[in-house]
């Protein structure tokens, strides 16, 4: 269909969580919407295909393996417990396939035209799409005219200058999620969410793991108490941790015998670290190139598209959501950015995106979940605070679960009692943070969270106890 032209209220370019979330909400509001994506495997973007979902599927297997190894503590005998990497990969891929089919089916439910192809902006209100079939073969071209366009082109893995992944010895998360291989040893470069999750996974699979982090602590964006607890937990598991790590990326050696690098803490003597593989987990780069931004007034600053609180760019009919717009680079954040953009386009009143009130989750063992300001950020802003803490070792449910690692920490304003931040580390805490998200949305106080009844025995009690501990009134600690 060469040069066919179609008109829409909204065209969404990119079908990751931010893109399809925006498209579905637009359809629900009765707008005529097209969703454009060039992945022949279907909707879902990085999160569903090579990110959140496959990673958590693997981590789910790792968590079960660890529990089975400790089953005797529960009075259950399990002999010859061992991982089957091929079966883990098969289950991972099956989960991804199932969810892709589910998300794709929602295009019809929400009356969204899903167009498979490579889209490019031609000004803020037109997208030219080189269409393809499910085998990736060209099928023609279509021009989509829109009243408004939402750019949701996502991001890609990036490496350090001079360190070039080869897919075999030096790998990225994309490589890992297409493979079933478990190396005997691995160096993980970067200790953010991606690095700590894969370090945790490989350690559970029996690999010898070394983590290199340039900054002074693991999960460096988290609260200082969380960083310290994570390092203690990793070292207890036998994971070697080098923080404030310094090495020359261009001097990394990779050959048939493995990977080697000279590394040491800042100001210290470097020593050689060797492993079968090196995983580069040093962040992502937004896909701002070759999407036609130069044909618009949108501004790219420090590698991302600049937007306002409703995700509008400098071009009034062009919006940007998800990783391409910076923010927190999290799938659930991208979804809410997409929804905010659509409501702005529809002329409906909606709160602007507030990244401080966005929950964050890391699925390593132990898990980390947080929202709001850290203690360090409160100090930087000159805020007077009061803090409550509940260790998981005082939680009856944590004792029952057989994992008492970690704590819940609540930070409140010393004068108003308003919640400023909640920081958790421990068993399944990623399932607990949603309460804090609701509380912060409703501008709740620590007293109100503590006064809310938390069922016993549950891990959620740790949140209520930490909130009460803000005023020194915890019942069980």
Residues 101 and 150 grouped into a single domain: yes
How far apart are the C-alpha atoms of 372 and 410, rounded to whole Å?
10
The per-residue pLDDT for 1 is 45
Q: Is residue 475 part of a domain?
A: no
Provide the sign of the torsion angle of the four alpha carbons 26, 32, 38, 40, taken in this order: positive
Q: pLDDT tens digit string along 76-86?
A: 998 889 999 99
Q: Is residue 338 part of a domain?
A: yes
Q: Is residue 117 part of a domain?
A: yes
Domains of the chain: total: 3
Domain boundaries, position 390:
366-469
Q: pLDDT tens digit string along 386-433?
A: 999 999 999 999 999 999 999 999 999 999 999 999 999 999 999 999
What is the CATH classification number for the domain harbouring 163? Answer: 3.50.50.60
How far apart are the C-alpha atoms of 283 and 445, rounded to whole Å?
35
Residues 143 and 188 grouped into a single domain: no
DSSP per-residue letters across 180-209: ----SEEEEE--SHHHHHHHHHHHHTT-EE
What is the CATH classification number for the domain harbouring 419? Answer: 3.30.390.30
Q: Is residue 84 part of a domain?
A: no
Domain boundary among 333, 355, 377: 355
pTM of this structure: 0.95
Residues 209 and 122 grouped into a single domain: no
The tokens 């931004």 sit on which residue? 293
Residues 149 and 291 grouped into a single domain: yes
Residues 26 and 138 grouped into a single domain: yes
Residues 123 and 183 grouped into a single domain: no
Residues 119 and 241 grouped into a single domain: no
What is the helix (H) or strand (E) element at residue 126, kind and residue range?
strand 126-132
Q: Is residue 476 part of a domain?
A: no
Residues 167 and 307 grouped into a single domain: no
Listed as ranges, residues in the chain with pLDDT below 70 are 1-3
Q: Is residue 31 part of a domain?
A: yes
Active-site residue, selected from the candidate residues 49, 317, 332, 456? 456
Q: pLDDT tens digit string along 23-82?
A: 999 999 999 999 999 999 999 999 999 999 999 999 999 999 999 999 999 999 988 899
Residues 250 and 322 grouped into a single domain: no
What is the helix (H) or strand (E) element at residue 450, kind and residue range?
helix 446-451
Known catalytic residue at 456 = yes
Q: Is residue 79 part of a domain?
A: no
Residues 13 and 152 grouped into a single domain: yes
Residues 434 and 452 grouped into a single domain: yes
């Amino acid at each position: 269909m060469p040069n066919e032209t179609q008109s829409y209220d909204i065209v969404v370019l990119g079908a990751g969580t931010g893109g399809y979330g925006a498209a579905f909400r637009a359809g629900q509001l009765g707008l005529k919407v097209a969703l454009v994506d060039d992945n022949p495997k279907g909707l879902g973007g990085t999160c569903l295909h090579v990110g959140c979902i496959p990673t958590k599927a693997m981590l789910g297997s790792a968590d079960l393996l660890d529990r089975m190894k400790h089953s005797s503590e529960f009075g259950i005998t399990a002999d010859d417990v061992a991982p089957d990497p091929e079966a883990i990969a098969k289950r991972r891929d099956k989960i991804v396939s199932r969810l892709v089919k589910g998300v794709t089916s929602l295009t019809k439910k929400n009356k969204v035209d899903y167009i498979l192809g490579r889209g490019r902006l031609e000004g803020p209100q037109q997208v030219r799409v080189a269409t393809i079939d499910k085998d990736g073969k060209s099928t023609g071209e279509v021009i989509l005219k829109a009243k408004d366009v939402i750019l949701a082109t996502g991001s890609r893995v990036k490496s350090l200058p001079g360190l070039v992944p080869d897919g075999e010895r030096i790998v990225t998360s994309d490589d890992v999620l297409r493979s079933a291989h478990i190396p005997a040893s691995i160096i993980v470069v970067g200790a953010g969410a991606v690095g700590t999750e894969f370090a945790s996974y490989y350690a559970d699979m029996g690999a010898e793991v070394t983590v290199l982090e340039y900054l002074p602590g693991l999960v460096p964006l988290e609260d200082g108490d969380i960083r310290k607890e994570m390092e203690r937990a990793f070292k207890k598991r036998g994971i070697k941790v080098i923080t404030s790590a310094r090495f020359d990326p261009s001097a990394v050696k990779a050959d048939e015998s493995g990977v080697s690098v000279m590394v040491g803490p800042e100001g210290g003597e470097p020593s050689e670290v060797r492993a079968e593989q090196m995983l580069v987990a040093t962040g992502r780069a937004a896909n701002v190139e070759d999407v036609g931004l130069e044909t618009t007034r949108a501004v790219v600053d420090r590698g991302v598209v600049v937007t306002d609180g409703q995700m509008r760019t400098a071009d009034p009919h062009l919006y940007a959501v998800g990783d391409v717009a910076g923010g927190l680079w999290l799938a659930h954040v991208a979804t809410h950015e997409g929804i905010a953009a659509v409501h702005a386009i529809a002329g409906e009143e909606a709160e602007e995106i507030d990244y401080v009130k966005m929950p964050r989750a890391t699925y390593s063992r132990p898990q980390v979940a947080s929202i709001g300001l850290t203690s360090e950020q409160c100090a930087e802003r000159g805020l007077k605070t009061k803090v409550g803490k509940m260790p998981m070792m005082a939680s009856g449910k944590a004792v029952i679960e057989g994992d008492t690692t970690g704590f819940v920490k609540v930070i409140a304003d010393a004068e108003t009692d308003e919640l400023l931040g909640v920081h958790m580390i421990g068993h399944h805490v990623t399932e607990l943070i949603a309460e804090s998200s609701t509380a912060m949305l409703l501008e709740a106080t620590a007293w109100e969270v503590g006064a809310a009844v938390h069922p016993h025995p549950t891990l959620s009690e740790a949140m209520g106890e930490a909130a009460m501990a803000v005023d020194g009134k915890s019942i069980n600690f």
